[in-house]
């Protein structure tokens, strides 16, 4: 067990160093923070609403993640395959699941760091009014879990191909389905045509489970959904990588 943790930690450290040794991490964080501020303050009409709340921020967060998280996930395994280092990594005395988990945790930690760096928005709403900070914390927890789910999907598509653009497009398509399955306009359309299908389709949507956390309720069922999505996508990543190894 200690050896497994050591291997995962080593791979995670290697992955994090690779992010911050190039401009990729800094460019991503700057773009993410600018877009968060733009959508919250401008598109979300923060000051016009006269309400000290980050509802607009958490509303637009899944749509920002739809494109930004696949951009991070697309390089997880595609880059290793393109450079021919995946075979070297997997021939080392490290099981494939340790490599998968190590790379995933490093990227997830990076995404969580980017989200935490939006704290000036929290300071702003607390300075301007008296927001429900419990709801804000719940929204951040939901955002971290949502980014993990999208990242795991990105890891899976990245293992499928060595072309990062193809991986990005596949990841965006899958994540878009996971959003639209529970998006209000889609569920309203299904309600008119196939009402019996609404609950089934909505249960597979990240939005259905994210909405509760956005409103300040951390339900164990919603947490289990996101963790199940992560485990399933990483399991598929392992199956794909083992097929390449064979």
**Is the entire prediction scored with pTM above 0.95?**
no
| Residue 149 to residue 135: CA distance in whole angstroms | 21
Burial class (CB in 10 A: 0-12, 13-18, 19+), 204: middle
CB 219 within 8 A of CB 198: no
> For every one of its 246 residues, what pLDDT tens digit does the chain have, with 9 covering 90 and above?
677 788 888 888 888 888 888 888 899 999 999 999 999 988 877 777 777 789 899 999 999 999 999 999 988 887 766 666 666 666 665 678 888 899 999 999 999 999 999 999 999 999 888 888 999 999 999 999 999 999 999 999 998 888 889 999 999 999 999 998 877 677 667 666 666 666 767 777 898 889 889 888 889 999 999 999 999 999 999 898 878 665
Residue 246 structure tokens = 């064979």
Give the residue carrying structure tokens 């490093």.
106
| Residue 138 to residue 133: CA distance in whole angstroms | 8
| Residue 76 to residue 82: CA distance in whole angstroms | 11
Q: What is the separation of C-alpha 121 from the centre of its chain, rounded to a whole number of angstroms?
A: 20
CB 91 within 8 A of CB 126: no
Which residue spans within 101-244 are E strands per DSSP? none
């Amino acid at each position: 067990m200690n050896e497994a943790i050591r291997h995962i930690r080593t791979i995670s450290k290697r992955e994090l160093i690779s992010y911050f040794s190039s401009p990729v991490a800094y460019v991503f964080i700057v773009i993410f923070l600018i877009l968060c501020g733009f959508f919250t303050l401008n598109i979300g009409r923060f000051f016009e609403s006269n309400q000290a709340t980050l509802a607009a921020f958490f509303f637009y967060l899944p749509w920002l993640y739809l494109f930004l998280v696949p951009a991070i996930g697309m390089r997880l395994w595609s880059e290793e395959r393109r450079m021919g280092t995946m075979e070297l990594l997997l021939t080392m005395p490290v099981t494939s699941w340790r490599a998968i988990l190590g790379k995933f945790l490093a990227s997830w930690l990076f995404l969580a760091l980017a989200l935490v760096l939006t704290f000036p928005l929290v300071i702003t709403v607390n300075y301007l009014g008296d927001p429900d900070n419990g709801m804000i914390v719940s929204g951040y927890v939901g955002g971290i879990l949502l980014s993990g789910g999208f990242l795991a999907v990105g890891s899976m598509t990245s293992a499928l191909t060595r072309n990062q653009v193809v991986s990005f497009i596949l990841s965006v398509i899958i994540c878009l389905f996971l959003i639209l399955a529970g998006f209000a306009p889609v569920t309203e359309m299904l309600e008119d045509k196939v009402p019996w299908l609404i609950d089934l389709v909505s249960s597979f949507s990240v939005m259905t489970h994210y909405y509760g956390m956005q409103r300040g309720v951390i339900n164990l069922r919603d947490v289990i959904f996101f963790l199940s999505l992560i485990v399933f996508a990483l399991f598929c990543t392992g199956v794909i990588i083992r097929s390449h190894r064979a």
